[in-house]
Amino acid sequence: MHAASTELSKAIDAYLRSVALERGVSRHTVRAYATDLRTLADFIDDRGAEPDPALIDLELLREWAWHQRDSGLATATLARRTSTIRGFTAWLARTGRAAADPGVRLRAPRPDRSLPRVLTRTQIDDLLAGLADHASTDDPGALRNLAVVEVLYASAVRVSELVGLDLDAVDPGRRTLRVLGKGAKERVVPYGVPAARALSAYLERGRPVLAAGSSPSNALFLGARGGRLSARAVYALVASLLAELPGSGPAGPHAFRHTAATHLLDGGADLRAVQELLGHASLGTTQIYTHVSAERLAAAYRTAHPRA
């Protein structure tokens, strides 16, 4: 586990010892629990959340669950990992390491459940307009932030894929990105004109300023000190942008991925094309967005139709 997760790592180690001694489970089961809990620790570290087991809440757990589902896990594996997390949070509460048990309400996401956060077109437009206003000052961080969010929404890439992009992954002529996804699988994804404009402005006037005085980096997106932008920084940016918007559910970068997929299907995109864009190995993983679109249509019908 990451060094930043010291307190959480200690709690996980203590829990695994407790499981092994008190419940007498097999060594194989303990290893499986350790693997499951490591996904949570790594997620917390990447998200930039405080690695204190007492601060784990239901929203963070739900975002972890959707992140796990979006990675293409089999239903049985996701159910097992969710069960492991619930056991861990119950133990935290029982041993006084946490004031309450947030996992008691955690359920594994199902394909027929609505996504935790899908922004409306108006919300997206207003959010990007605000970022564009800041970028118009030519502040290098503001230029980068606009490009980051435009790319997240335009291409529906995962945050790990976004921060992993190098300069040579961008093809401005074709308006495509070469993305290295899960399992080291490479795919090419398109992006639109607004994202192209934001990228061009960032590369011309933002990135050179961020790169000045630091060691040369091939990373597309740079942080304030000139190194590769971290997933933690992107989580912090998106959380700040979504904090004031109405709507429930996790406020991480995956909100833009969920939103892009849903808006594509709302606009008539083919399901298999969306699957390819998202980099899902299974069409079943992508089909969750058809349920979301159907629910949105039903909600609009109930609101607008005089005989609904």
- Supply the pLDDT for residue 220: 97
From the list 67, 207, 257, 263, the catalytic residue is 257
> 241: which 2 tokens?
């942008």
Q: Which of 83-87, 141-145, 280-284, 304-308 has the lowest mean pLDDT?
A: 304-308
Residue 33 annotated to the active site: no
From the list 289, 301, 302, 307, the catalytic residue is 289
Domains annotated on the chain, with CATH: 3-105 (1.10.150.130), 121-302 (1.10.443.10)
Q: pLDDT tens digits, residue range 82-97?
A: 999 999 999 999 999 9
Distance CA 257, CA 234 (A): 13
- Rounded to 10°, the helix 6-18/75-94 angle is 90
- Supply the pLDDT for residue 5: 47
Q: Which of 87-101, 191-205, 265-279 has the lowest mean pLDDT?
A: 265-279
Distance CA 261, CA 145 (A): 21
Is 276 or 212 the better-scoring residue by pLDDT?
212
> 281: which 2 tokens?
């190995």
Is 164 or 277 the better-scoring residue by pLDDT?
164
The DSSP code for 279 is: T
Nearest Cα to 234, choosing from 150, 156, 148? 148
- Supply the pLDDT for residue 48: 73
Q: pLDDT tens digits, residue range 110-153?
A: 654 545 578 888 999 999 999 999 999 999 999 999 999 999 99
Instruction: Specify which of 27-41, 71-85, 288-302 reaches the highest per-range mean pLDDT.
Output: 27-41
- Supply the pLDDT for residue 115: 52
DSSP H/E element including 293: helix 288-304
- Supply the pLDDT for residue 209: 95
- Supply the pLDDT for residue 211: 94
User: Number of C-alpha atoms within 13 angstroms, CB side, residue 238?
Assistant: 28
- Supply the pLDDT for residue 82: 93
Distance CA 115, CA 123 (A): 16
Nearest Cα to 207, choosing from 190, 189, 193, 220? 220
From the list 47, 62, 81, 254, the catalytic residue is 254
Distance CA 297, CA 268 (A): 13
From the list 2, 80, 113, 182, the catalytic residue is 182
Q: pLDDT tens digits, residue range 1-40?
A: 444 447 899 999 999 999 888 777 788 889 999 999 999 9
From the list 97, 158, 258, 263, the catalytic residue is 158
Counting residues of the chain whose pLDDT is more than 70, the rounded percentage is 84
DSSP letters along 19-76, please?
Answer: IIIII---HHHHHHHHHHHHHHHHHHHHHT----GGG--HHHHHHHHHHHHHTT--HH
Distance CA 6, CA 12 (A): 10
Q: pLDDT tens digits, residue range 215-254?
A: 888 999 999 889 999 988 998 899 889 887 776 566 688 8
Residue 302 annotated to the active site: no
- Supply the pLDDT for residue 4: 42
Cβ proximity of 161 and 278 under 8 Å: no
Residue 191 annotated to the active site: no
Residue 202 annotated to the active site: no
Sheet strands side by side (includes 186-190): 170-171, 176-180, 186-190
The DSSP code for 203 is: I
Give residue 276's pLDDT band: very low, low, confident or very high (50, 70, 90).
Answer: confident
Rg (CA), the chain: 21
Is 175 or 117 the better-scoring residue by pLDDT?
175
From the list 62, 117, 144, 280, the catalytic residue is 280
Please list the alpha-helical segments (H only) found in 136-253.
Answer: 140-155, 159-163, 193-201, 207-211, 231-242
- On average, the pLDDT of the chain sits at 84
Residue 17 annotated to the active site: no
pLDDT of 197 higher than 70? yes
pLDDT of 292 higher than 80? no
> 22: which 2 tokens?
């008190």
Residue 158 annotated to the active site: yes
Residue for token digits 């998200």? 47
- Supply the pLDDT for residue 112: 45
CA distances, 227 to each of 41, 45, 84, 144 (Å): 24, 18, 36, 13
